[in-house]
Structure formats: structure tokens, C-alpha cells
Chain A
Amino acid sequence: MSKKEIDDRFKKFGTVSFIGQSKVNDFIDYLEQGKIMGTKCRDCGMMFFPPRADCYKCLTSNMEWFEVSKPGKLVTFSKLQFGPIGFENDLPYIIALLDFDEYKVFGRIADQVPENELSIGMQMKAVVNKLPNGQLNYVFERA
């Protein structure tokens, strides 16, 4: 019997990824294609971001993917001067939250957008970003 292959695609997410295995590992394949995807429960229609494999309301795992493509509104943000181990080369960087009405997306502001050009409520879009170390995440740019 051959050794069972481990699906640890999630290791590619973010500057430092802390886990590899998840039932929503297709999220990484979509990132490779330039798409940021959430999941939607086929039974009750609830939309989830971050994507999840299971619906706690319906107690089912009947999900389909949807793309985060329209612009969202900037809810809040902060520019970090200190970071955890492994993030030193990224400093300083800005973390932020966008509101898309049905769901919200937590991520980073794109490096080329300075802090003094940000204002709460402004329209931004989430785009896939390839990090210098080959990892993938997503960042927010002006819509």
C-alpha cells in the first residue's frame, strides 16, 4: 500500500502560514488563478468569508464557491511598526478590514498605498498578491 499523500496546500497562504491542511484547500488553487473565493451554503444561502467547509446552521457540508470581485468599504486599519517572528522583512505594513455587506474580508493594504491616503469608508478592492518569498496572500487597493 502506498503512503497516503498529504494535501497541505494551505502552507502557501501568507508571509508565514501556520497550517497546511484544511477542507477548503482549493482556496489556494483559486489564489494561483488570481481569484479570491468565499463559500456559500447551498442549503441556506449563507455566504462565508473566510471560506468554510461546513454550515453550522444547516449542519451540512454542501458548499459552493463564490468570487470576491466587487469593491468593499474600508472599515478600519492600523500600521504596524513591530511584527511577530517571521514578519520582520514586511515591516512596516498595514492590516485592514473591508466590508462587502454580506461578509467582510481581513487582509493587508497594498504596499503602494500610503497610510495617509486611507480613510474609513473608502472603496477598495481585494487582489491576489505574490509575496517575495513565493507565498500568496491578498491585499487591498483603491477601487
Chain B
Amino acid sequence: MGKVGIIGVGQSSFVRGFPGSIKELAFQGFQEAMKDAAITSEDIEASIVCSAPEYDKQRSPAGVLSEYLGLTPQPTCYLESLCSSSSMGIRMGYSLIKSGLHDVVAVIGFQKMSEISSAESQERMGRGADLQWESPFGTMMPAYYAMYARAHMDKYGTKPEDLAAIRVKASTYGQINDKAVYRKAVNMEDFANPDSRMAGSVASPLRVGDCCANADGSSCIIMASEEKARALSDKPVWVLGVGAASTTVNLAGRNLFTGLTVARDAAREAYAMAGIGPRDIDVAEVHDCFTIAELMAYENLGFAEPGQGVELIRNKETYREGRIPVNVDGGLLSKGHPIGATGGSQIRTIVLQLRGEAGEMQVKDPEIGLVHNIGGVGLYGNVTILGR
């Protein structure tokens, strides 16, 4: 059985309030990926469309996108696992190719978060947890991650300043990523000044600056069988591991609050598939929907022992020049987090890094990269390992 390769990557700019339809938004990521792969719609044998349905007005978006992108009459379907939808799409694309069913598959992620009003969005946020048992208490995404942050601080002595330092790193690279929604610098002083917007409490201990930027955006990844990849591309990047896991929605069903079991479990599977370990990773994209999420990722992926993740940020080891560069494209914190497009965008960043095409964000000569993409509050976890 041959390998599975990635032969084209693309994403739209991540923006606030995309002035067009979801089809036109999806076109932007698709256009860049298809030009990158230098193929046409007829070469795509199947497509997988990924988004989080609570932001969609269109029922069953796969059909309208496949029509607009010229992907009919090939099969298409919609896939969701909240914020990790397009990484799950990569995993499904991998299995379609590995099974021999298709040779070339497009994984299209998109989210027009501004499709619904902010009041509608506020209402949907209330339904993000278990509707029967947790939502009636008035839960929100930041508050759940804040509960993890509180537990991590209590057990390991992690400081709010450690979390702020992760945001400062993200902004360093958001400023040089022309696809990022948040292009401004964030400094430690912004968190220290109580009058600053960044320092305002959202859900203790998390502050405004600890939370990622919502955005509209799209991404597209073109996957191919080894034979097709070698025939169509002179720079394929290979999929070495596709780990995935889930856990309970209800916090009451969990036992760990200083890390995410889904990340740990998905990483274990992905490392085993790839036959490598954390020390072999040269560059990583992790799901920093909140600063604490990046810190926990360091530990769950094995870049640091539990409780030692803070040393990586304190010593700037996760900066571009450090031992294990993480989110050197600005991450979700600065690049933005258009739910269904996020995983594909992370994959794109790593593919560009491995090809040496990341421009100002380029890490020195990486051979193996990792993507950590989480859906919900550590509900779904995907870890994807790519290599040259």
C-alpha cells in the first residue's frame, strides 16, 4: 500500500465580515490550492466539505460548494467535528485514498462566522455544551477553557503572565502573516495595564488577550495517492500519521483538567503511525483557541513533561528560532479561527514550512511537522504528522 501525499494547499485571508457568500469564500481557498497543485476540477475524484453547522444558514453546504467549484458529478459530503472539522476531513481523505477508492481528494474547510448576527451567535454559544445538563447553567467556551487554566495554575504554579507570553508570541507572527485577521502587536504591558482591552476579564482567569480572534475564512488541501502525487507534483508532502480521539462532552465525565486527553491520545496514535516521537518534530501548529490551550498542547504532545510547558514559552523555545517552533504563523490567536477552515489552514502552514516556502515565517530546514487541532472543549482531537 502506497503513501498518501498533499499536492496542493490554499487558504483565503482570514477576515472579519467577508463581503460575499460562503461559495465565494470557499472559492478563495480552493483557487489557491488548485493553482498550487496545478490541476483542474476534473482531476478531483471526490470532495469533503468541512464546517461547524451552527454558523451555516445553508442546509447541506457540500452540494452548493461542489457546484460552485466545478466538482460535480464527483461524490461530495459534509463532515464536522466542530473546530477540528477539516483535520478530521484530512483523516477521512487519507482513508478514501488508502482504501483505493479514490486517487485525488479535495478537503475544503470554510466558516463564515459573520453569516449569523452576533445575537444569534451568542444564543448558539449557549448551546455549545451538553444541552440537557450543562447549558442551563450558562456555559461558554472561554469559561470551560478557563476551568482548565485554573486547574493548571493550581497544580503547577502557572502564572497569568505565562499565558500572556503565549499571546505575545502569536502576535509576533500575526504581524508578518498577510493572511492573519489580527495584525497588531500585543505586548506584556497590554496585559499589565488594567485599562487595556487585552487585560479585561472574560472568564477568570482568562482575559480578552487570552482568547482567539473570530474570523471568516476558507482552506483547501488537495490529497493524492503516492502514484498520483509523484506524477502530478514535484514537491509532495507525505502524510505520516493521522491520529484522532474523543472524550465526554460533560465535564463531569472527565478525570483530567490540566490537559486534554484527546490531544494525548491522538498524538500517541499519530506518533505510532509515523514511527517517530515528539523529539523528531521540527515545527508544529497547535490549536491555540485560548492561550492555555497552547500550553496544554506542549505537554499533551510530549514537547514538555506535564507542568513543564511554561519553560518552553519562558525560554522562547517555541519561537521561530527555538528548539520546537510552534504557531509561527500567528496561530488561532492572531491569524484567526474560522472554525471549519482552521485545520486546513494549519496543514497549509506546515506544508509550506516543509517545502521551505513560508517566507518570513520560515523555520530553518524542517523535515517533519505536526498539526494539533481540537474540536469543542477538548471533545474531539486530531493530530496529523507530515514529512518531506
Binding site for B on A (CB under 8 A): 10, 13-19, 22, 49-50, 75-87, 90, 93, 95-97, 103-108, 115, 120, 137
Contacts and interface: CB of A to CB of B under 8 A. Distances in A.
B126 A95 contact: no
B136 A17 contact: yes
B151 A76 contact: yes
Contacts of A82: 140, 142, 202-203
Contact of A15 (B122, B137, B140, B146): B137
Given A78-B147, A120-B150, 7 more contacts: A13-B132, A18-B127, A22-B132, A84-B123, A84-B126, A84-B139, A95-B137
Contacts of B92: none
Interface stretch (B17-25, B249-257, B354-362): B249-257
B204 A78 contact: yes
B143 A95 contact: yes
B150 A50 contact: no
Interface string B113-126: 00000010011011
A137 B136 contact: yes
Interface of B: 119, 122-123, 125-127, 130-140, 142-144, 146-148, 150-151, 154, 200-206, 250-254, 257
Contacts of B201: 79, 81
B136 A13 contact: yes
B150 A78 contact: yes
A32 B305 CA distance: 47
B131 A18 contact: yes
Contact of A19 (B131, B204, B205): B131
A4 B199 CA distance: 55
Contact of A76 (B142, B150, B202): B150
A97 B137 contact: no
5 contacts: A13-B132, A50-B250, A83-B140, A84-B125, A115-B204
A80 to B, nearest CB: 5
A79 B132 contact: no
B144 to A, nearest CB: 8
A13 B131 CA distance: 11
Contacts of B119: 85
B290 to A, nearest CB: 12
A85 to B, nearest CB: 4
Contacts of A108: 137-138
A78 B292 CA distance: 14
A15 B136 contact: yes
Among B122, B133, B136, B203: residue with most chain A CB under 10 A: B136
Among B138, B150, B254: residue with most chain A CB under 10 A: B138
B137 A137 contact: yes
Contacts of B130: 50
A50 B146 contact: no
B163 to A, nearest CB: 14
A120 B201 CA distance: 20
Contacts of A93: 138
B252 A95 contact: no
A95 B206 CA distance: 14
Nearest to B136: A14
A85 B123 contact: yes
Nearest to A51: B133
Among A17, A49, A76, A108: residue with most chain B CB under 10 A: A76
B122 A104 contact: no
B251 A90 contact: no
Contacts of B150: 76-78, 120
Given A81-B201, A95-B143, A18 B154 contact: no
B143 A78 contact: yes
A50 B132 contact: yes
Given A80-B143, A85-B126, A95-B147, A50 B203 contact: no
Nearest to B151: A76
A50 B133 contact: yes
A77 B383 CA distance: 28
Nearest to A50: B133
A16 B123 CA distance: 11
Nearest to B131: A18
The 8 closest A-B pairs by CB, nearest first: A14-B136, A84-B126, A87-B138, A78-B146, A50-B133, A104-B252, A85-B123, A76-B151
A128 B11 CA distance: 50
B143 A103 contact: no
B324 to A, nearest CB: 28
Contacts of A10: 132
Contacts of B133: 50, 106
Given A16-B136, A84-B140, A107-B137, A79 B122 contact: no
A17 B264 CA distance: 34
Nearest to A104: B252
Nearest to A83: B138
A97 B206 CA distance: 17
Nearest to B155: A120
A75 B250 CA distance: 14
